[in-house]
């Protein structure tokens, strides 16, 4: 393979692997997840437990949770949290807090923090929790 062919192959590969890599991209910062933990404990933990294993509300980790949300977008999860939760007072938690809570939930589901803040701009990202 000459240099030009090699360059072409690399360009082609980055097109093919690009979208797949986006899914793995870090969606939130460590700071957001940290703040989200406090907000979660204040607004959600009474029903979902501080470790997210569930009580009155279902677990927000584990296979059933992944089955429910993988393939959907971050925005879908956010919307559910913001519009349907907390179950006794839906919509009462401000959006900014809900993005922090979402960061915490994603971290608890094995996603790694990075340099980009989670917010409406990242809403289109597809969830892939393991
Ligand atoms: C008063 C109890 C209660 C509180 C507080 C509460 N939840 Fe829930 N939650 C539930 C119940 C009950 C369900 C199941 C019913 C449903 O899906 O509508 C649920 C379902 C969920 C689900 C969907 C889980 C799944 O796999 O279907 C998510 C996500 C969620 N809650 C997030 C939150 C967040 C985030 C907060 C805090 C902002 C919160 N909940 C506060 C009771 C609660």
| Per-residue pLDDT tens over the stretch 54-93 | 999 999 999 999 999 999 999 999 999 999 999 999 999 9
Pocket test for ligand 1, best of 44, 93, 99 (most atoms within 8 A of CB): 44
CB of 101 closer than 6 A to ligand 1?
Answer: yes
Give the pLDDT score at 12. 59
CB of 58 closer than 6 A to ligand 1?
Answer: yes
Domain limits, the chain = 26-122
Q: Is the model's pLDDT at 99 over the cut of 90?
A: yes
Q: What is the mean pLDDT of residues 101-113?
A: 97
**Which residues are CB-contacts of 119 (< 8 A; sequence separation ≥ 6)?**
99
CB of 54 closer than 6 A to ligand 1?
Answer: no
CATH topology of domain 26-122: Cytochrome Bc1 Complex; Chain D, domain 2 (1.10.760)
Global confidence as pTM: 0.86
CA angle 73, 76, 67 (to 5 degrees): 70
């Amino acid at each position: 393979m000459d240099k030009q062919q090699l360059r072409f192959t690399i360009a082609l590969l980055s097109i093919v692997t690009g979208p797949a890599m986006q899914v793995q991209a870090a969606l939130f910062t460590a700071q957001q997840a940290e703040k989200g933990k406090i907000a979660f404990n204040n607004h959600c933990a009474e029903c979902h437990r501080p470790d997210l294993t569930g009580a009155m509300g279902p677990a927000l980790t584990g296979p059933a949770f992944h089955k429910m949300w993988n393939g959907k977008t971050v925005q879908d999860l956010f919307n559910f949290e913001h519009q349907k939760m907390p179950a006794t007072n839906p919509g009462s938690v401000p959006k900014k807090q809900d993005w922090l809570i979402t960061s915490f939930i994603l971290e608890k589901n094995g996603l790694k923090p990075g340099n980009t803040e989670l917010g409406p701009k990242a809403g289109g990202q597809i969830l892939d929790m393991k």
